[in-house]
Amino acid sequence: MNENNKIQKEYYDQDLANVWSYPEHYTSYEKANWKWGDFPFSNNLNGTDFYKIKIKSKLENISILEVGSAMGAAYNFLNNSNLIDLSNYTGIEVSKSGNEFCVNNYKKANWIHADFTKFNLSKKYDYSYERISVHHMAQPLVQYDKILSNTNIAASFSFRGCINGETISNINKACFFELDGKYYCNIINVFDVINVGLKNDFNDIRILFGGLHEPFIRDEEEAKKNRGNPYVSKEIDLESKHVSRFQVRLRKNKILKKPKIYVTGHPRTFIKYPLITLELINKIKKIKT
Ligand SMILES: C[S@@+](CC[C@H](N)C(=O)[O-])C[C@H]1O[C@@H](n2cnc3c(N)ncnc32)[C@H](O)[C@@H]1O
């Protein structure tokens, strides 16, 4: 067994449905706050979405996939808006308590109780999204590829990422400790995600730079005592990675002649991190499309 498989075995030897059913999962995610910017929807798919996104007219006859649907708060937001046709909505979630809650409370949607990393998508969806879920899973880029290769129109991902260096996905060296086990604290290079998007023919890619990530716990024993806080081993050099929060929105824009990749964010974030913003923009310019 190679080193990677050994590390992943630790993840898969656990009962993930339980690991993700710690008591606060229920309270944190039932009323989680969602806004239009967290979703891939748009009333103007061939236009440019700068910072603020708002849906004004109803999107009809669409299929939707949500990965890591937790307690269904995103579905609830969309349902209350009355602006999205939810007749073909699928949410995949590994948490036992999350899935049960959705099945009992939102009966019209299709809730799948599964570990997404082991789940084969058997059909395509018009819109797909995940928010801070894939960054807790094994092989995050494989999961993004799986989502994008099964998405027709647009997708949205939100994750803990970095600008430089390789994507980190190692449950021994970067994880969260929970009551019944642990899960990944991936640091996903935003350019790796862009490349997966380009490979899957997404030609309109918006990166929202959410600013630098707060410091991690670097000592394993301390992290075990601070359940639910992100741990990154001292062995991982974070110095020049610029670990940040990102959202990436990807679309298949029918009128673009060549791929367009651009950065957005709150002006305050750009003012606070001018050099990192510039580095991000310069790196985007160098992407071969
Ligand atoms: C940090 S929470 C985010 C919940 C929600 N997306 C939100 O933004 O409020 C991560 C979610 O992903 C789910 N998740 C983690 N690993 C998973 C896996 N391998 N398969 C399916 N769901 C998973 C967790 O159970 C949890 O509900």
For residue 123, give both structure tokens.
């059909």
Structure confidence at residue 190 (pLDDT) = 98
pLDDT of residue 244 exceeding 70: yes
Chain centroid to CA 119: how far? 17
Q: How far is CA 262 from CA 48, 133, 183, 188, 204, in A?
A: 10, 23, 31, 18, 8
What is the distance in A from the centroid of ligand 1 to the CA of 257? 36
**Helices first, then strands: H and E counts in the chain:** 10, 12
Q: What is the pLDDT of residues 259-282, one digit of tens each?
A: 999 999 999 999 999 999 999 999
Q: What is the pLDDT of residues 36-81, one digit of tens each?
A: 999 999 998 888 777 788 899 999 999 999 999 999 999 999 999 9
Mean pLDDT across 140-156: 98
Q: What is the pLDDT of residues 91-134, one digit of tens each?
A: 999 999 999 999 999 999 999 999 999 999 999 999 999 999 99
Q: What is the pLDDT of residues 180-209, one digit of tens each?
A: 999 999 999 999 999 999 999 999 999 999
- CA gap 130, 155 in Å, rounded: 8
Which of 15, 20, 21, 129 is the pocket-test mutation for ligand 1 (most atoms within 8 Å of CB)? 20
Mean pLDDT across 172-185: 96
Q: How far is CA 160 from CA 102, 169, 186, in A?
A: 26, 11, 7
What is the distance in A from the centroid of ligand 1 to the CA of 259? 30
115 in contact with ligand 1, CB cutoff 6 A? yes
Contact 21, 97 (CB under 8 A): yes
pLDDT confidence of 1, banded at 50, 70, 90? low
Which of 67, 94, 185, 245 is the pocket-test mutation for ligand 1 (most atoms within 8 Å of CB)? 94
160 in contact with ligand 1, CB cutoff 6 A? no
What is the distance in A from the centroid of ligand 1 to the CA of 144? 14
- CA gap 25, 276 in Å, rounded: 33
pLDDT of residue 3 exceeding 90: no
265 in contact with ligand 1, CB cutoff 6 A? no
User: What value does the mean pLDDT of the chain take?
Assistant: 95
pLDDT confidence of 289, banded at 50, 70, 90? confident
Which of 133, 159, 176, 184 is the pocket-test mutation for ligand 1 (most atoms within 8 Å of CB)? 133
92 in contact with ligand 1, CB cutoff 6 A? yes
Residue nearest to atom 7 of ligand 1 (CA): 131
For residue 122, give both structure tokens.
């058997």
- CA gap 42, 156 in Å, rounded: 11
20 in contact with ligand 1, CB cutoff 6 A? yes
- CA gap 237, 37 in Å, rounded: 32
Structure confidence at residue 26 (pLDDT) = 83
- CA gap 195, 176 in Å, rounded: 27
For residue 287, give both structure tokens.
């992407």
Instruction: Please tell me what DSSP assigns to residue 44.
Output: -
- DSSP states of 246-288: EEEEEE--TT-SS-EEEEE--HHHHHHSHHHHHHHHHHHHT--
Ligand 1 nearest atom to the CA of residue 69, by list position: 6
Ligand 1 nearest atom to the CA of residue 28, by list position: 9
Structure confidence at residue 46 (pLDDT) = 84
CATH class of the domain whose range is 3-47+58-186+216-245 = alpha beta
Catalogue the E-assigned strands of 13-134. Answer: 64-67, 89-93, 110-113, 125-131
161 in contact with ligand 1, CB cutoff 6 A? no
